[in-house]
Amino acid sequence: MEYQNIIVETLDTGVGLIRFNRPKALNALSPELMEEMAHALAAFDADEKVGAMVLTGNERAFAAGADIKAMANAGMVDMLTNDIIAKWEYIHSVAKPIIAAVSGYCLGGGCELAMSCDMIIASETAQFGQPEINLGIIPGFGGTQRLTRAVGKAITMEMVLAGRFLSAEEALAHGLVNHVYPVEIYLEEALKLAAKIASQAPVAVRLGKEAVNKSFEMTLREGLQFERRVFHMLFATEDQKEGMAAFVEKRKPQWKGR
Ligand code: DAK
């Protein structure tokens, strides 16, 4: 697939980088962009050389939301039956970790997409918001649910009902983002974190992501059982033998992803 709306790069650190590339529209997430993003995520997920991914925009905007111009004239049935929804949903089935590197506007579907990633690294200028209320709608890709889990009911209500933006500093204080860095280095730091993850045992990384995400969907008892089974499973991997042997022999492990 030839990309027109994103720029894709595979780094030699094992990181797959996807940059949104609609700067004039503040990286508004058009159907075409979302289709390309889903395609690139699938390609990185299937690529053995890639261990983690970074999703980013530019300094001014991660993304100012879904493309309002593309949906302004849509009817209820159009929205209900639109197959582009599957392209948005695709991110939730990616097995490898994804880090969102966020600077500037991170609004509406942009904020929801960042929250669908596994971690968020922000620049000092990042602004998070769910301003759909200003358009006469509410969030439609998880904003009311994921934001509430991340920052709590009080702030989410203000964001969803009054369109309040959250600064990077506030987002850090409330646990929405992992780190905040100056705008000059936020992407570099996100790439470093992704490279660190990409250098770990791939099967353990994959199952670690799955286990943490289960905590949002299961009771504590079910989640603990799931974690225990996965923990036992990892003792069937060559990488567990290698990791523990390397520790005992005081050397660096050589992961095989087996
Ligand atoms: N869509 C389309 N174009 C956008 C846009 C957007 N979301 N945001 C900005 N732009 C365009 C502007 O129209 C303008 O284009 P031109 O007029 O130059 O052609 C250009 O980007 C620069 O924007 P401004 O001139 O407005 O720049 P300012 O600095 O004055 O203002 C702003 C920046 C971010 C405050 C403002 O642009 C703004 O309020 N943008 C809209 C933010 C917003 O309301 N976002 C939420 C959109 S609704 C779902 C999946 C996703 C969704 C729902 C369901 N399913 C899978 C079910 C998500 C919905 C949404 O995100």
Which atom of ligand 1 is closest in space to residue 110's alpha carbon? Answer: 61
For residue 109, how far is its CA from the centre of ligand 1 (angstroms)?
10
Question: Which residues have CB under 6 Å of ligand 1?
Answer: 25-26, 28, 64-69, 85, 88, 105, 107-109, 131-132, 134-135, 140-141
Q: Buried b vs exposed e over 225-247: b needs ≥16 C-beta within 10 Å?
A: ebbeebeeeeeebebeebbeeee
Q: What is the pLDDT of residue 20?
A: 98
CA of 121 from ligand 1 middle (Å) equals 22
Distances (CA, A) of 116 to 40, 55, 75, 176: 16, 11, 26, 11
What is the Cα–Cα distance from 137 to 149, expressed in whole angstroms?
Answer: 21
Q: What is the pLDDT of residues 202-225, one digit of tens each?
A: 999 999 999 999 999 999 999 999
Which tokens hold the place of 131?
């301003």
* The 3-state secondary structure of 112-127, one letter per residue: HHHHHCCEEEEECCCE
pLDDT at 108 (0 to 100): 98
Q: How far does CA 43 lie from the centroid of its chain?
A: 16
Catalytic residues: 66, 109, 112, 132
Please answer whether residues 96 and 53 qualify as being in contact, where contact means their C-beta atoms are separated by less than 8 angstroms: yes
Q: Global pTM?
A: 0.97
- 8 Å CB contact between 81 and 228: no
Q: For the chain, how big is the Rg over CA atoms in Å?
A: 19
Please list the ranges in the chain whose pLDDT falls under 70: none
**What's residue 81's pLDDT?**
86
Stated length of the chain: 258
CA neighbor of 145 nearest in space, from 111, 102, 173, 99: 111
Measured at the alpha carbon of residue 58, what is the angle toward residues 56 and 61, in degrees to the nearest 5? 95
Per-residue model confidence as pLDDT tens digits over 84-108? 889 999 999 999 999 999 999 999 9
Q: Alpha-carbon distance 225 to 219, whole Å?
A: 10
Predicted local distance difference test score (pLDDT) of residue 16: 98
CA torsion, ordered 178, 47, 92, 85, to nearest 10 deg = 120
Q: Output the CA 241–ligand 1 centroid distance in Å.
A: 50
Which pLDDT value is given to residue 78? 87
Q: Which residue is listed with tokens 């989640």?
A: 223
